[in-house]
Structure 1
Amino acid sequence: MQDHHLPQFHVRLPRGYLNDPNGPVEFGGTTHLYFQSRSHAELAVPVEWGHATSEDLVHWTLQRPAMSPVPGGVDSGGCWSGNTVVDGDRVRAFYSGKVDDSPYQSILTAVSDEDGTNFSRPSQVVDDPAPEEGVTMFRDPFVWRDGSRWGMVVGAAGPDSTASMRQYGSADGLSWEFEGELARLPRTVFDGVDTGEGWECPQLIAVDGREVALVSSWSHAGGPGAVLAFPVDEAPAPRRVDDGHNFYAASVMREGSYGQVLFGWITEGREAAQWQAAGWAGAISLPRRTWLDGDRLCSEPHPAVDALRVGPARAADGARIGAQAEIVVPAVSGTVRVQYGDGAWLDVILDLEAGTLTLDRTAAGQDSGIDTEPATSVQAFSDRADWAARIFLDGSVVEVFTSAGRSITSRVYPTTPPPWRIHAPAGVVAWELAKAMSTADEERPVRMESLPVG
């Protein structure tokens, strides 16, 4: 039987472990998305760069891994996070090379002369921090080009639990000079969120004429925290990018025909023994576009996502759906319920007067060892869209977007397989969504058969 928890239109592996997206880039009219990949759902397996390509930003073909650790080399312990840049007729990758006995992940570069499908042996381009600097974490380069100049930021944790983005400059992408810290912040709680003692996966995105940093808060004791964003032209005031529990390691495509596009890693909400038994873990979020509301980074699904819809919209109330669906809610208060089975459901609760949207997973009919904590977005609604919320269901993945640019990315693992039934206020509509993943050895992408809605 097919695992109904396995996403079908989010980028993921058919088996194995997937985490951070790396270096989405458009090259030769094709979007290349790289990501942390392990061939087995075991964390002991060294990390390589998985690879997927798309002609429309939403239908993806899995390729063979683009980069693997070199035994005895500068990335022998794993090819970890970074990004890619188009360099003439080549794709150049910058990433963290792990060596198991090193205190840092060194900053490496490798080149693809094969349309981004295979990268050369790496070389180190930035010196590791000197011991006297007291840096306790250093990894995850993000590189961009501004005319003839190359820029780089690297995530770090320093003395007194101070998180920072270390900045470097280059004329050719090969010789780099340290230019100081682009941003730094001693660990604190801001807007109810722990800002972390270090920042992983730093990114820079140009939004509404301002450069905005995205960082993933991290600590030695607690590990990953949340994705935070703040404009770099003022003192850091980091705010959450996503209000759910399963969005981390955001990655930006800074330029291309689709505009600037944001992806993230959708983490698991179940215990390791459960995803190891399933044989797979992790997915990549839907592509998002962004804007600023004051100093808060907002996002919504990229318009390309509409291509996943199968057939016309149908009234949602009473509809039977499969595990892949989109539900669109107009500006009404009420509860959208996805009924999995007797006594098992997922609720999305909209309160327009209070300005809140809550994702309630507590009755989703899941096994023990599953995270069921609710999530709430505040100041969730505006009149900038003709809908209040868009809800995307893809197996165990739930992505909810609100009209004011808030989002909640979470996981549910109902034990009852589809078909499922929707209960919703009048005016709510639903679509079945197509499967959007194929592998390079398939003759063509396979589209799922949709259940009739209604």
Structure 2
Amino acid sequence: MSSVSRSTDANSPRFRVRPPANWMNDPNGPFRWGDRYHLFYQHNPDAPVHTNVHWGHASSPDLAHWDDHGIALRPTPDGPDEAGCWSGCVVDDGGVPTAVYSGIDHDHQGLSAICLAVTEDDGLQKWKQLPVPVVAGPPPGLDVTMFRDPFVFRFTGRRWALMGAGHADGTPSVLVYDCEDLYDWRFAGVLLDGRDPAAARAFGKRAIGWECPQLWATPGGDWVLAVALWDGDPLSTAYVTGRLVEQADGGPRFAAGTGGGPLDLGRDFYAPSVLQDTEPGRALLWGWSWESRPPEEVDRAGWSGVLTAPRVMDTHEDGTLRVVPAPELELLRAAVPFTAAPGPHRPLPLAYDLLVTARSAATVSLLRATSGAELTVRLDPASGTVTLDRTAWPRSRPDGTAPLVLPTPPGETLTVRILVDGSLLELFAGDRATATERVYRRDDDIAELTVTGMDVEVTGWELVPPNPA
């Protein structure tokens, strides 16, 4: 296997969180401690394949510029996490940052234990993994066949935890535990399951397990539950808005409302992870963007996977999500922007931030193949649609190449934000819909901006400087 430096690989994201080389998947434990944001992630330090899962660690003062700190958690020989440190979160337990995560042994069969690790320094770079799990496996009597990904939150002045689950009859669910004492957990019931009609509408009926459950409160008082949909393999992600209802004889239950649906409309987004950032009063969310190119190309590049840019999550009055890029991302913009008018081509850098505002139908082209085919984003304010067409850039994943359509309310003006970092493309249609896609630039592709339309404004910024190679 050969490894290509991210500074020379046109498809390598240089500004988003990922390790210098090899495999990464789920974001874990976003956490604010002192004057820095910390973000962990599943990571195989030895090869760009999904095995031997550790926790990697990065931190940032501003959500834009990240430093990688190498390994935080590693499998413990003969321990409850001997076969991998899977997804989880980080919490402040009486002034001690504590990782709460799924550990698996060699005989796990989809059932994890809930493990703890405590930090031994203020930089969160040294961790002590506890040898005995706080929960050895799923609760009895529920025929649980999938059990993983703890997420800790506060409600009614008490600490609770969610676990993603699936059951033998094919019903997915989110379980809830009382963990006010982080070292003494009590099963407190089912928060929500796939038999709930509102959940079925929001999440669909194909998934047999809900992974990576995430729950956060919005400034308006809504609660949002997001999950990763699993049917034996990762499918996609979804959310539902509603209320948390306190139960007299157990833990909270989720009363799903009318808002819900895909968390991201793209084909390359999974495993959401949220930080309830209390200082500015907002929820920040990251996802994992997997590779959609052939394994031999991944092996040749020597890396696999990247985390998305952080997104600020809120809800509209109708319960649907309001999603925008974190404003700190503007710190990456070059001091001098570039503009584009309908007509001439303009070269595009490897990483950029593009803002497009259209008052009538318009199209921006971002990449051109030697065949003449183009990667385009079409804005149609009258119909309230944003269409991403990348059919000329084939993918290895079996999910089709049809154009993606992002719906927004029809109106006089439509604004789109496009974040591109190497092969990672994140498209924000107003504040209503997002799509995460991987587009791999071929050697003979031409990256240039072309604009067509009668009433459209385009402003862009190259991203500078990148994270260290």
Both proteins in one fold, TM over 0.5: yes
- Correspondence for 1:197: 208
* 1:33-432 equivalences in 2 (<5 Å): 33-43=39-49, 45-103=51-109, 104-115=111-122, 116-122=124-130, 123-130=132-139, 132-146=141-155, 149-186=158-195, 190=201, 193-194=204-205, 196-207=207-218, 208-220=220-232, 223-233=233-243, 234-235=255-256, 238-258=260-280, 259-293=282-316, 294-317=318-341, 318-332=345-359, 333-342=361-370, 343-364=372-393, 372-379=401-408, 388-416=415-443, 420-425=447-452, 426-432=456-462
- SS of the equivalent of 2:87 reads strand
- When structure 1 is superposed on structure 2, of 298-307 and 426-435 the one drifting more is 426-435
CA drift at 1:147 = 7.5
How far apart, CA to CA, are the structure 1 residues paired with 2:106 and 2:327? 42
How far apart, CA to CA, are the structure 1 residues paired with 2:427 and 2:106? 39
CA drift at 1:194 = 4.6
How far apart, CA to CA, are the structure 2 residues paired with 1:84 and 1:357? 37
CA drift at 1:120 = 0.8
Decide whether aligned partners of structure 1 residues 192 and 61 sit closer, same or farther in structure 2, where only a CA change above 3 A counts.
closer
- SS of the equivalent of 1:399 reads strand
- SS of the equivalent of 1:438 reads coil
Q: Deviations over 1:349-407 (max 9, x none)?
A: 1111111111111124x687796442211126668xx8610011111010000114210
- Given that 1:185 and 1:236 are in contact with CA atoms closer than 8 Å, whether structure 2 keeps it comes out as no
- SS of the equivalent of 2:291 reads coil
Q: Deviations over 1:119-151 (max 9, x none)?
A: 212331124125642111000000124575211
- Correspondence for 2:248: none
- SS of the equivalent of 2:14 reads coil
- Given that 1:338 and 1:420 are in contact with CA atoms closer than 8 Å, whether structure 2 keeps it comes out as yes
How far apart, CA to CA, are the structure 1 residues paired with 2:363 and 2:451? 6
How far apart, CA to CA, are the structure 2 residues paired with 1:130 and 1:349? 50
- When structure 1 is superposed on structure 2, of 264-273 and 15-24 the one drifting more is 264-273
Decide whether aligned partners of structure 1 residues 52 and 419 sit closer, same or farther in structure 2, where only a CA change above 3 A counts.
farther
- Correspondence for 1:449: none
- Amino acid aligned to 1:246: D
How far apart, CA to CA, are the structure 2 residues paired with 1:428 and 1:271? 34
- Amino acid aligned to 1:108: C
- Amino acid aligned to 1:111: V
- Correspondence for 1:8: 14
How far apart, CA to CA, are the structure 1 residues paired with 2:348 and 2:216? 37
Decide whether aligned partners of structure 1 residues 417 and 24 sit closer, same or farther in structure 2, where only a CA change above 3 A counts.
farther
Output the TM-score relative to the length of structure 2: 0.86
How far apart, CA to CA, are the structure 2 residues paired with 1:344 and 1:414? 13
CA drift at 1:418 = 7.8
How far apart, CA to CA, are the structure 2 residues paired with 1:413 and 1:69? 33
- SS of the equivalent of 2:121 reads coil
Give 5+ residue unaligned stretches, structure 2.
244-254
Q: How many residues align?
A: 434
Decide whether aligned partners of structure 1 residues 45 and 171 sit closer, same or farther in structure 2, where only a CA change above 3 A counts.
closer
- Amino acid aligned to 2:335: G
- Given that 2:151 and 2:162 are in contact with CA atoms closer than 8 Å, whether structure 1 keeps it comes out as yes
- SS of the equivalent of 1:310 reads coil
- Correspondence for 1:452: none
- Given that 1:382 and 1:403 are in contact with CA atoms closer than 8 Å, whether structure 2 keeps it comes out as no
- Amino acid aligned to 1:338: L
Decide whether aligned partners of structure 1 residues 65 and 264 sit closer, same or farther in structure 2, where only a CA change above 3 A counts.
same
